[in-house]
Structure 1
Amino acid sequence: MQAIVFANRTGNELAPLNQQYCPALLPVANKALVEYTLEDLASAGVTDVKLVICSDAKKIESQLGNGQQWGLKIDYFLSKPEEQVNSVLSRMSINKDTQALVVRGDMLRSPCLGRFIEFASLMPSKFVHAKMSQRNPAMMMLPAGWKHHELMNWPLETKEVNHADSVAQLLHGECFYLDSLAAYVEASEYVINSRDFCVKGRAIATNNTKQHLIVEAQCQLPDLSKTDVYGAIGEFTKVSPKASLTEGVVVGEYCFIEDSTIQNSIILPNSYVGPQLSVNNKIISQDLMIDPQTNSWTRIEDPSLIAKSVQEPTQYNTLVQRAGLLILYVLLSPLLLTLFLCACINKPRKPIVTDTVVSNDNQPIKVHKFNIASPSFALLPQLWSAAKGDLNLFGASTQFQSKINSSTPYGVYGPVQLNFDETTPIEEVQMVEIEFEQANKPQYLVNLLQQQMNKANTDIVIKG
């Protein structure tokens, strides 16, 4: 059986965590949220999965791969952010008689898909309307579910349906939408205390005999045998011998905690917690200190307090690229001068257009382009911004950055820069940017430029 898994939420309701994670990859007890659904599908005997994704598509595909680790075959399908289920299914060209499971993977539910599939298979002509803890667990079977696709759209709603052609199924367990920071903490607490879920690692001895502390490999921890602590600690994490962990604690992978007190808190991956801090009922994600109870947060600028725990991969290649772009900029200076003169002739009052945009370091910068028709030539002055490291050579368009919530780096060239203008519908821009994020960018743009040149050649008329 095929399963169609929707993981196309934007996560705006989880701000500021959406700056670092899309909901599908948000760690819950040190496991990406979507992995809980994939594990449930594998246990239910499903083998083929079509995963519907939008922003952070490249990260999702990199982390999940082809699904082999769960015994699944995962294919990816791009959608607009929070695109409605009916719209996505129609673009998939699914036969109306095809039997398939449709389920959301960007929320959390107790394992139940096996029971749901088994029950639905007993009455294939009936729509099985599932409920879990009086909530909509976001699952349906096709073809009976075609008329009820709105139950799968985000944000989820719990609606009653016409029971003339449906049957209700009450599923045991809990259901979490993770539609707020408080709901995220609640889901994490449930996972580390529930036997329904498998948390990665092994249990170690603590003073808490009722709840377990699950620890992954390659961790350096103090003696916790006399400590009343439970939760989960990710791999390659180091906790100082003088640090104190008490009550419910979840610490992600590659974290470093100095001589501080951590109580009832979540420390997300790659976070550093400095000495002499008392962290109680908080979420820490790199340089973000978040209070889920008041839904407030602060970005800490002092790296001795909290910060990203690991450095970025070596910057050697980046420096070489920037040096290469600088050399290219110098070599192109005669062409730049020629284009400037052409712009002065065609647009003498405004040969250069200047805009203020936000760089990849979130700093306002000035960018310039020639006021000429060809976008590929008009954007050449922005090679200087790429040489300085403010923009990438290839990336998302700066023109739409205020309208799109994307983690994709901004660049001088891309399909939007070469094809679209400010009148283009934002939905079309989003789809193209998502597709470009996953593509081999140089080859993608070479093909695009070749298409433009071929089109330009067909427009040339030779008069005799």
Structure 2
Amino acid sequence: MQALIFADRLGRELEPLTDRTCAALLPVLGKSVLEHTLEALGAAGLSEAVVAVSPFADELRLALGDGGRWEMRLHYVLTCGEEDPDAVVENCQSQLADELLALRGDVLHGAALNEFLRLAAEVSGPVVYGRAANAPVSLCLHRAGGRGGLEPLRWSAEPVEMPPTWPVVEVPGAALNRLESPSAYHRANLDAAAGRFPGLIVPGQQVAPRLTVGPRSRVSPRGPEQGVVFVGENCRVEASAEFYGEVVIANRVTVDRHAILRDSVVLSDAYIGERLEVRNAIIQGNRLIQVDTGAVRSMIETFTPTSQHETVLGDVLAAPFDRLWGLLLLLLSLPLWPLALVAALVENFDDPLRETRLRGNRLEFDEFGVRRRRAFVTMQWMTSIPLLRHLPRLLAVVSGDLRLVGAEPLTPEQATDSQREEWERLADRAPAGLIGPTQLILPAGAPRETRLMSDVFYACQRGAGKNLRYLLQGAGALFTPRAWWPG
């Protein structure tokens, strides 16, 4: 038997979630909807599938490959998008087996497919449909000699009720979410986290009765206690964060201090800023999608920025003290410079010390009379040890080009590429610094947009108390593995 998976939805009904990916690749509990489908097929004993794809076809093929991860063989056929399933079968007849298990790979099934196949085996006829209770038909066993019959699997945001041509079996305990809207997608994630979708293979380990944590994620044991929480892989959740109701956090997400999430879904590569409160929403990058109203807005709008007058005054008073502290730290760091030289020679003998240009805190006027941050040249030891690599930046603190605490310094090229929208330019309210929340909290491989969001939150909420805390946190970080080991 062969599986035929329809994953060719255009996804207009899910916008803005589908403006960067297709419906089949949207994550549920840290894995794409289509991955859950393939796992269910593998559990039912199928080893070969044909996948019908349309939008983001290259991205989908890159994500799934040849199916070896699921011990399956995957073949792909390209459609025009939301095409008639019977027409798809007609066009790729030579690739299909006589007996097919047809289903959509861009909806979430909570059914044991082997149970459907067992029940369908007891029903005669060329086509047998399957469904969950009170749900549209979502499965189809297409036997040799059958022609047509796949019309119920054609995608429509509002399924058309029609009397089925062939027998229908109801799969006991099955569940279905068609993901026909952002609200439905939000509900699918929360239901899956709460165990209301039987048969899903949940990644990670259950470290507490209501807390599941994925690989390489840092979640304090004193962390989420108030709700049912799923945390994906490579995440960092501060101990003071609070979770209520049902919360799903995808992969590579940072949740900062005192953030509050309630009945919400956070998609991959997001940053939840300090003291940010999110209720009944989906977070995708910088977008907050309110599922009850459908409103989409920038997350930066969810808090009040610091007064500009207070910020400017604090910056003027802090600058000379920063330079004095930078000189003291430079003197204290002198024993590390020979070690940095040796480490750089071991890894890059021909080029141990390299120049790099960064935007600093000194201002200049360009040829059009526009004030901008002046770029300066600093050095960098060519070693993979983070602490040693950035030792020369202490010279930039002494010169006043960098502050001790501030936003992550960017190269001029990074600033041009990543600060195009109004919210992105808010990061310039904060001085560039040697350390700060982005440098201390986020992993080195975090996406540029996530790092920029962290800097924006810091710029809008910073103050003397926060800077002192980051200084103390930076001092403590000197004695952690992260300061001395790559990655």
TM over 0.5: yes
Q: What is the CA distance between 1:126 and its match in structure 2?
A: 4.1
| Segment drifting more, 266-275 vs 220-229 | 220-229
- Distance in 2 (CA, whole Å) between partners of 1:158 and 1:240 is 48
Which residue in 1 is equivalent to 2:200?
197
Inter-partner Cα distance in structure 2 for 1:238 and 1:295: 28
TM alignment of 1:204-353, pairs within 5 A:
204-205=207-208, 209=209, 212-224=210-222, 227-259=225-257, 260-300=259-299
Aligned match of 1:64:
64
The AA in structure 1 aligned to 2:92 is M
Is contact 1:109–1:137 with CA below 8 Å preserved after alignment?
no
Mapped to 2, the partners of 1:250 and 1:190 lie a distance apart of 10
Counterpart of 1:101 in structure 2 is 101
**2:139 matched to 1:136?**
no
Residue-by-residue CA offset, 1:60-87 (whole Å, 9 max, x unaligned): 1111111111111111111111111122
Matching residue of 2:4: 4
Per-residue deviation, 1:277? 1.1
Match of 2:28 in 1: 28
Q: Give 5+ residue unaligned stretches, structure 2.
A: 305-416, 421-487
Contact in 2 for aligned 1:137/1:175 (Cα 8 Å): no
CA RMSD of aligned residues (A): 2.6
What SS does the corresponding residue of 1:253 show, helix, strand or coil?
coil
Matches of 1:115 and 1:91, distance apart in 2: 30
Aligned mates of 2:168, 2:237 — CA distance in 1 = 49
CA distance in 2, matches of 1:96, 1:199: 31
How far off its partner does 1:241 sit? 2.9
Residue 103 of structure 1 aligns to which amino acid in structure 2?
A: L
Q: d(CA) in 2 for partners of 1:66 and 1:221?
A: 34
Residues in 1 aligned to 2:228 and 2:215: alpha-carbon distance in whole angstroms: 17
Structure 2 distance, partners of 1:67, 1:20, is 23
C-alpha deviations, 1:116-168, integer Å up to 9, x for none?
22333344534313221222242212246533221110014443224xxx322
Partner SS, residue 183 of structure 2? helix
- Aligned equivalents of 1:46, 1:201: Cα separation in 2: 25
Kindly provide the CA deviation profile for residues 248-290 of structure 1, in whole angstroms up to 9, marking residues without a partner as x. Answer: 1111111112121111111100001111211111110101100
- 2:179 is aligned to 178
Q: The residue matched to 2:190 in structure 1 has which SS? A: helix
Would the aligned equivalents of 1:135 and 1:158 in 2 still touch at CA under 8 Å? no
Structure 1 distance, partners of 2:234, 2:245, is 22
Report if the CA contact (8 A) 1:10-1:81 is conserved: yes
| Structure 1 spans left out of the alignment, 5+ residues | 306-359, 364-464
Contact kept? 1:26, 1:33, Cα under 8 Å: yes
1:356-367 alignment runs, 5 A limit: none
Tell me the distance in 1 between the aligned counterparts of 2:96 and 2:147. 8
Task: Report SS of the residue matched to 2:147.
Answer: helix
1:226 to partner: Cα distance: 7.3
Which amino acid in structure 2 is aligned with residue 3 of structure 1? A
CA distance in 1, matches of 2:181, 2:242: 28
- Letter in structure 1 aligned against 2:3: A
**Preserved CA contact (<8 Å) 1:222 1:243:** no
2:79 match:
79
Query: Residues 247 and 264 of structure 1 are in contact (CA less than 8 Å); yes or no, is this contact kept in structure 2?
Result: yes
Matching residue's letter, 1:192: A
Give the 3-state SS of the residue equivalent to 2:51 in structure 1.
Answer: strand
Structure 2 vs 1, CA of residues 93 and 255 (structure 1 numbering), >3 Å: closer, same or farther? same
Counterpart residue number, 1:151? 152
Contact 2:249–2:266 (Cα < 8 Å) also in 1 = yes
Deviation of 1:225 after TM superposition, in Å, equals: 6.0
* Amino acid corresponding to residue 241 of structure 2 in structure 1: A
| Partner Cα separation in structure 2 for residue 49 and residue 226 of structure 1 | 40
User: Residue 301 of structure 1: CA displacement?
Assistant: 6.1
Secondary structure of 1:146 counterpart = coil
How many residue pairs align between the two structures?
301
Q: CA deviation at 1:302?
A: 7.3
Q: Closer, same or farther in 2 for the Cα pair 1:239/1:145, shift >3 Å?
A: farther
Task: Give secondary structure in 2 for the equivalent of 1:117.
Answer: helix
Does the CA contact (< 8 Å) of 2:264 and 2:278 recur in 1? yes
How far apart, CA to CA, are the structure 2 residues paired with 1:10 and 1:256?
31
Change (3 A) 1:134 1:84: same
User: In the alignment, what sits opposite 2:163?
Assistant: 160
Find the aligned partners of 2:65 and 2:303 in 1 and give their Cα distance. 36
SS at match of 1:80: coil
**CA deviation string 1:161-183 (max 9, x = no partner):** 24xxx322111221110101121
- What CA distance in whole angstroms lies between the structure 2 residues aligned with 1:29 and 1:213? 12
Compared with structure 1, are the counterparts of its residues 141 and 130 closer, same or farther at alpha carbon in structure 2 (3 Å cutoff)?
Answer: same
What's the CA shift string for 1:405-464, capped at 9, x where partnerless? xxxxxxxxxxxxxxxxxxxxxxxxxxxxxxxxxxxxxxxxxxxxxxxxxxxxxxxxxxxx
**Mapped partners of 2:98, 2:69: distance in 1:** 27
Q: 2: distance between equivalents of 1:148 and 1:67? A: 27
What does residue 92 of structure 1 align with? 92
Question: CA separation in 2, counterparts of 1:138 and 1:171?
Answer: 11
Residue 43 of structure 1: CA displacement? 1.0
